[in-house]
Structures are given as structure tokens and as C-alpha cells.
Structure 1
């Protein structure tokens, strides 16, 4: 026991008396390396990734549907064909999920104009099309809000003067951008009723200054990405045929 005690004391003495080296940073150096087409690819790496690249490209370029025209988010002032397709696709694909989980239907959809990141070109609609339109990882959420908040949503649209994609909501403005009509599926908005609005997690959190979603009555996260909803929608259509309609319009009188 005495020898063990002496050994412990000796180790403690050595630990406390060991000299600690003082390290100091004297210099940081860096160099810029331009990555451009002058850099030669590594043949071994290219050979290794080639089958994976071909597999991914084959999946991305497989035809899901067909577009008879080219559709762009700049085609209309208050609603566009591509925006209407975007919102309708989210409704069509997410409502069955929400209904199965809650026994309720989604009342309307609101997305953001800036979330559409590409056109749909005339010709084959592929998985790559969906990734180009929606490169983000945003997911669908269904927010329960009072009709009074839906009215704030409508006011936001009237002031934004942009073709934010909507579905099931109908808005008419006068020449001064004042709200003349607003209804959901043809029924005037009831300020005391709870409406279930499908949107994305970014907008629910206040993105694009959409602060009317909170405080909410309820929140259902569907675990369903917007991009996946688009992919599933395209798979159900031999030919897409989105149009500009009267869901959000401004009168000139």
C-alpha cells in the first residue's frame, strides 16, 4: 500500500510539473485555385462515377408527362398558368394525405411566386423538370387559421400585387387594388371559422413577410416535399394543360 501511495504521489508530481509548450499562431497563408474548364478531369475518378451519373441522368430525364406549351411565372399579372398548376398540384396531392390523417379537407393553398425557379418547357415533362422548378427542400404543412387571418392573407395578396400561386381561393380587386370579392370555393370567408391552408414550411415561418399564419389554431406537417408532390402530380397526367384563369384578377374599373 505504501509503494502504491508513493507511486500516485510521483505521478501527480510529474503531471503538475511537466512543462507545457506554448503554441502561437504566426501566419496564415492561402491561395486561390480557379476551378474552370482548363482543369483536366481525373480519368480514374471519371470512370468510377460514370455509371452513377448515367443512372441518375436516366432517372431525371425519364418522361412523366407532356407540356403542349412553354409556361413561365411571368406570363400573367396576378395568376399564371405555371403558378396555378403549382398550387393545384399541391392541393390535389396533399389533400388525400390530410383527409386521411385528420378527417378534414384542405380549404385552400397559398405558395409564393418566388418559389417557382424555372419554366416548364414545351415537350416532355421529366423528373428533372420538377427539380428545376423546385430545387429547395421545402415541405408541405397545413395550417389551421381563423377566417380573420384569411382576410389578412387576402389583404397581403392585394398589396403584394404578385402572382403568388393560390388554389380554391378567389380574389377580385378593383382598379385601385382594393378587394371587391374574396371567397373560398365560392363561399364568402367567415371570420370565426377555422380554415385549413396548405403552404410550405418557409412561408409558415414568416417567409416573404407572410406573418398571418401565426398564431395558428393547428399545424399538421405532412412530411411531403413540394417537389415530390409535383413529381407525383406529373405522373398522373399524360399531358398537362395549365391555364391562366380568374382565381385572382384585377378589374380596370
Structure 2
């Protein structure tokens, strides 16, 4: 049988080698639709089942409790879920950053579109973290000069969107101009360089945040946002985040 297969392969190679440069080959294709009507392979299903059950059991284990349902559409310039997410990134990543280089994170900026699900009232599980952040985004820290911090503030004032922030406060006038800004309740010194925690998508200019391209350095923490959420949920019995005064606009 081995010799027969070998002769068959050699015959194919010889037939192709005998073709002249003028020979034309016609290649045709067709679409094959994959639908729910396709039957699962029973052997594969039996093999996969224990792994699926183990993963689902891990994902569905209860870590904490949410006193209400939280959505990124609940507010204008800041939301409870966005504030929670940014605060978690600060709380969980600042010790990692300090251990790495002996400095603290000054503030956090994430993107509104990165929140992919609500937090439902009731039990919180590891699956909750995967639903909120299904992407593989990791936390990075940018050393951003004051001039780029000014651009960051102008970006947020133009966007007028609830991009999650932590340790940063912004107040806009009725026309949308920044009239007050502070980091850790201290006025921003635009001659300084600040450590800003964000994600690896935004650091490359995602969502038009081009000011990050002016970073003096970028420190990669090797810490996924999803893992930071899980770590926080594991040590927090009950979450009750609120929209607050970290980003507001005057109406009069």
C-alpha cells in the first residue's frame, strides 16, 4: 500500500511537470453555508463536554453581589459602571506599577466603547468580567507630558462622552470648555509629566486618542483589564458604584 501511494504521488508530479507553459488551469469554487442544521460529531462532543462543564463551573462561581443594574448608557459624562471600571484599574494596577518602577499612577483613562455589557443586579461571577471586557486588552502606563495632558482634556471636552476616568476631575462650562481640572484633587501642572494608566488599544491612538503618541515612555504591566476586574470582584462582597462629580458640565 505504501508503494502504491508513492507511485500515485510520483505520477501526479510527473503529470504536472509535463505540462507546457501554454496550459491553462481552471479553478472553480463554491460557497458552503454553515447552518444550525449541521449535526455535531458525537465523539467530539463527548470529548469536549467535561472541559466545557469545568469552564462553565469556574465562570459561573459567585464572587460578589451588585445592588443594582449598571449600564454605560446611564449617564452623560460619567457613569456608575464606567467609574467602577476605571477605579478598579487604578486600585488593582497601581501596586503593580509601584512595585515595578517605584512610582504611582496619577490617573486612569479608558474608553466608553470598551465596556461591552451591563452589570446585572444580583450575583457577580467571573463570567461578568468576561462579558464586560471580552477583549484581550491589557493595562499599560503612559508617561505623558503636560502638553499632551492638555490635549487629553481637550479631547474629552470635545467628545462629551462618558469615557471612564479615575483620579481625574474635569469641569466644563456651558459651552463645553474646560474651566477646571485636577489630578488627585490637585490642580494640573502642565509642566510636569504624569503617569496615566490606559489600555494597549488606546495607547496606539485607538478612538482617536492620538495624544498618547506623545508619551515619553510606555510601561507594559502584563495585566489584562479582565483579570483586574476578576481580582477586584473576588475580594469585594458587594458593589454599589455611582455617577459622581469627576466629569461635569455647567448648565447655566
- The correspondence of residues 100-249 of structure 1 with structure 2, limited to 5 A, is 100-249=99-248
Q: Report what 2:17 is aligned to.
A: 20
Q: Report what 2:33 is aligned to.
A: 33
User: 1: CA distance between counterparts of 2:91 and 2:25?
Assistant: 60
Q: Report what 1:92 is aligned to.
A: 91
Say if 1:151 and 1:189, in contact at 8 Å, map to a contact too: no
TM-score, structure 1 length as denominator?
A: 0.90
User: 1: CA distance between counterparts of 2:228 and 2:137?
Assistant: 11
Q: Tell me the CA shift for residue 151 of structure 1.
A: 1.2
User: 2: CA distance between counterparts of 1:47 and 1:20?
Assistant: 46
Q: Which runs of no fewer than 5 residues in structure 2 stay unpaired?
A: 1-15
Q: Tell me the CA shift for residue 59 of structure 1.
A: 0.4
Q: Deviations over 1:216-237 (max 9, x none)?
A: 1221000001111111111110
User: 2: CA distance between counterparts of 1:155 and 1:80?
Assistant: 20
Q: Which runs of no fewer than 5 residues in structure 1 stay unpaired?
A: 1-18
Q: Report what 2:42 is aligned to.
A: 43
User: 2: CA distance between counterparts of 1:43 and 1:206?
Assistant: 46
Larger gyration radius, structure 1 or structure 2: 1
User: 1: CA distance between counterparts of 2:218 and 2:173?
Assistant: 34
Q: Report what 2:59 is aligned to.
A: 60
Q: Alignment RMSD, CA only?
A: 1.5
- The correspondence of residues 71-90 of structure 1 with structure 2, limited to 5 A, is 71-90=70-89
Say if 2:81 and 2:241, in contact at 8 Å, map to a contact too: yes
Q: Secondary structure at the residue paired with 1:163?
A: coil
User: 2: CA distance between counterparts of 1:175 and 1:146?
Assistant: 28
Q: Tell me the CA shift for residue 42 of structure 1.
A: 2.5
User: 2: CA distance between counterparts of 1:52 and 1:125?
Assistant: 22
Q: Report what 1:70 is aligned to.
A: 69
Q: Tell me the CA shift for residue 24 of structure 1.
A: 4.5
Say if 2:148 and 2:214, in contact at 8 Å, map to a contact too: no
Q: Deviations over 1:83-128 (max 9, x none)?
A: 0000000000000000011110000000000000000001111111
Say if 2:139 and 2:225, in contact at 8 Å, map to a contact too: yes
Q: Tell me the CA shift for residue 31 of structure 1.
A: 3.2
Q: Secondary structure at the residue paired with 2:201?
A: helix
